[in-house]
Amino acid sequence: MKLSDGRTVIEVLVELVRQSFKFSGRSRRTDGWLWLGAEFLLGLSCAFVFWKAPVEQYITDAIYVVFMVPMIGWTVRRVHDCNLSGLWALPVFFGYFWSFFVWPMEPWMLIVFTILTILPLLVTPDHGPNRFGSDPRSKSFAEPRRN
């Protein structure tokens, strides 16, 4: 399936993995929605396949950690796309950390961290270049494909 910019969903997900530890530059909202969608579908699939299995919790925790690392890098690049400092991504990082290592969470905490995770997906980006780089939606931003 091709997106409006010509990339496929797989290309977007692979690029997010490649840029896991890249905290400079800018990213699109589309990338984050696709990443969260893939995380949700994979987690749901594992919960269905490993239902009531003793290893189910370990598998879902592993998936969570694997998906968490690229999402933190994407969140930093996404707040850069809104011309904000990467420090605005810290609440999202703390939410991920808290929900994984300090479980169980209070219901209000789960709601707050969910909102903090989805917020970068909703904020309108800066159009055109800003202090963090060129607009990822512009045609000149697209990198040449590597074979």
User: Region 61-72: what's the mean pLDDT?
Assistant: 80
> Structure pTM?
0.73
HSE (side-chain half, CA atoms, 13 Å) at 73: 17
In percent, how much of the chain has pLDDT > 70? 88
What is the domain partition of the chain in residue ranges? 9-123
pLDDT in the model for residue 86:
87
pLDDT in the model for residue 107:
76
pLDDT in the model for residue 105:
67
- For residues 58 and 50, the answer to whether their CB atoms sit within 8 Å is no
Q: Which residues pair with 2 in a beta bridge?
A: 8
pLDDT in the model for residue 96:
72
